[in-house]
Structure 1
Amino acid sequence: MFGILVSAANVVLGFILRSVIAKFFLYFALYFFVTETVSLLQSSHLLPSAASLAGAFGSVGNDVWYFLDLCAFNYGAPLVLSAYVTRFIIRRLPIIG
């Protein structure tokens, strides 16, 4: 009976050490790398800011803005842009993409 319990404890401990803890450290390292890289890109002004995009759309006329507001462009454009940036970042990670 003692051998069965030791064997079961060995299997559970091996599973926890091999999969759970190793994946935790791996995903934490990936999360830390991505967050620090994005903050570095934002601080060095390599990513566009909201002020530069507002300046780019400043010359659009009122008749065009009516249709852009009708299609919820102010919600959809940042959503699509962030989705493309996220897809780009994820595909560059060798483990995930």
Structure 2
Amino acid sequence: MMFGILVSAFNAVLAFLLRSVLVKFAAFFALYFIVTGFLQVMQAAGLFPSASSLNGVLSGIPPGVAYFMDLFSVSQGISMIVSAYFTRFIIRRIPLIG
């Protein structure tokens, strides 16, 4: 009697692991490699700006504008916005959530 209950519980746990956890792991594993591959292709195509081009753009900001950008902490705001967009991008890639 007790052995049958334990076997049934083990069977239910094993079925859960094989049906949901293993399938989700395989799906996320595939998504990881797909996204990594796309990022490498986009980087090789030159779609991302380089550090020297960003430095050139930022050095062209007049001192008065730079003062007010520092006063209003624009650098922190931009990093928060980029982080929020990145998080939104990642969350939208999760099945059943995004």
Quote the residue 2:19 is aligned against.
Answer: 18
Quote the residue 2:53 is aligned against.
Answer: 52
CA offset at residue 71 of structure 1? Answer: 2.4
After TM superposition, the structure 1 stretch with the greater mean CA deviation from structure 2, 52-61 or 19-28, is 52-61
The normalised TM-score by structure 1 is: 0.74
CA offset at residue 50 of structure 1? Answer: 3.1
Aligned residues, how many?
A: 96
CA offset at residue 17 of structure 1? Answer: 0.7
* Structure 2, unaligned runs of 5 or more: none
Does 1:4 pair with 2:9?
Answer: no
| C-alpha RMSD of matched pairs (Å) | 2.5
From the superposition, tell whether residues 52 and 85 of structure 1 become closer, same or farther in structure 2 (CA, over 3 Å): farther
From the superposition, tell whether residues 54 and 65 of structure 1 become closer, same or farther in structure 2 (CA, over 3 Å): same
Q: Distance in 1 between matches of 2:89 and 2:79?
A: 15
From the superposition, tell whether residues 83 and 51 of structure 1 become closer, same or farther in structure 2 (CA, over 3 Å): farther
Q: Distance in 2 between matches of 1:89 and 1:49?
A: 23
Question: Identity of paired residues, percent?
Answer: 52
Q: Distance in 2 between matches of 1:32 and 1:16?
A: 23
Q: Distance in 2 between matches of 1:38 and 1:83?
A: 19
Quote the residue 1:71 is aligned against.
Answer: 72
Q: Distance in 1 between matches of 2:35 and 2:51?
A: 21
CA offset at residue 62 of structure 1? Answer: 0.3
* Structure 1, unaligned runs of 5 or more: none
CA-to-aligned-CA distance 1:48-93 (integer Å, 9 cap, x gap): 23332222233211011011112233333244235335534654x4
